[in-house]
Amino acid sequence: MVLLTGPSANAFRGGYLNVDKPRDWTSTDVVRKLKGITKIKKIGHGGTLDPIATGVLPVCLGHGTRFADMILLGTKEYRITLKLGVSTNTYDSEGDVTAERDFSAVTREEGERALAAFRGKYEQMPPMFSAVKHNGKRLYELARQGIEVERKTRPVEVRRLDLTRWAPPEAELEVECSHGFYARTLVNDFGAALGCGAHLSGLVRTRAGRFDIKDSHSLEEIQEYADAGKWQELAEPLDFTLQHLPSVRLDPLSAEAVQHGQALSVAQFGPPAGTAPGQQVRAYDAESELIAILVFEPDRSGWRPQKVLAAK
């Protein structure tokens, strides 16, 4: 077993585009547009953004769709703009107004104190206008019928939450949070804590895992590169989301066995010292092409192929 330090892809078999999603586009709209631009059929997004939101939308292409779950690892960061004094049924500016209250007496100091309750680990209630399912139906489908049902709270973690601008009726927050966190719910709950209500008026996702907004590309830029026949230059490599895993290079016989779904025994392919059961590794062939994710199961098969990429 040979540890690698930075394998490179020789040809585009798949990867990821870090898209700066425009406002009023759904995540599905973006995928549909990219299918037309890239002519690749197998495309999916990692982590839905509401139409009102802009910013980082990771899009998986080709073999990259096999690792879509890895995009959801790690934290996300958002820049939130909110409006005090007005509550809506969707918790954002797209919804119907449900209440209006005077906010003029609320101070920045009160805002800072109210935010303390939303830092760390706590239980958050998903909004009715969300894609969470209830008895097989999306909550937003029920909400559009005027039906509100009891929902279960979800554990979330907020690692950082800062009040970066206070200019009533507007304010701005920056948050680093776990997967499954609803910025709209934070704003609604923050407004309730202040006693004046609030709704989300703008949202920018500035980071999702390893995908950062400073490295993102607009659809117009991707189209321009496609017109020049080089959109692949904007794509991140297949192993971009896998850098948290150790890497190994397989000899030709072992690589062939793995690509046929065969496990590698501990006897023929011993693990590095200290490898624990359940450890995953990135496996590359002799040409430094990513071919699989292996998982260490010493009591069963040894190194079992968990995800195998089709050969070129």
Segment 192-213, tens digit of pLDDT: 999 999 999 999 999 999 999 9
3-class DSSP state for residue 47? Answer: coil
Cα separation, 210 vs 196, whole angstroms: 37
Cα separation, 113 vs 148, whole angstroms: 31
Q: How far is CA 193 from CA 83, 98, 110, 176, in A?
A: 14, 17, 10, 20
- 145 lies in some domain: yes
- Residue 179 and residue 113 in one domain: yes
Where does the pLDDT of residue 144 fall: very low under 50, low under 70, confident under 90, or very high at 90 and above?
confident
**Is the entire prediction scored with pTM above 0.85?**
yes
pLDDT tens per residue across span 121-143:
999 988 877 777 767 777 777 77
Cβ atoms of 17 and 219 closer than 8 Å: no
Q: Decide if pLDDT at 3 tops 50.
A: no
Count of CB atoms situated within 10 Å of the CB of 195: 13
- Residue 125 and residue 57 in one domain: no
Alpha helices in the chain (DSSP H): 27-38, 68-71, 108-115, 139-144, 183-194, 219-227, 252-259
Any idea what DSSP says for residue 4?
A: -
- Residue 202 and residue 82 in one domain: yes
- The CATH code of the domain that includes 260 is 2.30.130.10
Domain span at 290 = 245-308
> Which domain-ending residue is among 190, 208, 226?
208
- 5 lies in some domain: no
Residue numbers annotated as active site: 50
- Residue 95 and residue 180 in one domain: yes
- Residue 198 and residue 114 in one domain: yes
Where does the pLDDT of residue 156 fall: very low under 50, low under 70, confident under 90, or very high at 90 and above?
very high
- Residue 45 and residue 194 in one domain: no
How many domains are there within the chain?
3
- Residue 175 and residue 285 in one domain: no
Residue 158 CA neighbour count, 13 Å, CB half: 22
**Residue that has been written with the tokens 């995908």 in this structure:** 211
> Which domain-ending residue is among 158, 189, 208?
208
| Better-predicted residue by pLDDT, 231 or 150 | 231
pLDDT at residue 11 in the model: 58
- 284 lies in some domain: yes
- Residue 249 and residue 231 in one domain: no
pLDDT at residue 279 in the model: 92
- Residue 94 and residue 204 in one domain: yes
Q: Is cis: bond before 246, omega within 30 of 0?
A: no
- 203 lies in some domain: yes
What does the pLDDT average to over 238-262? 92
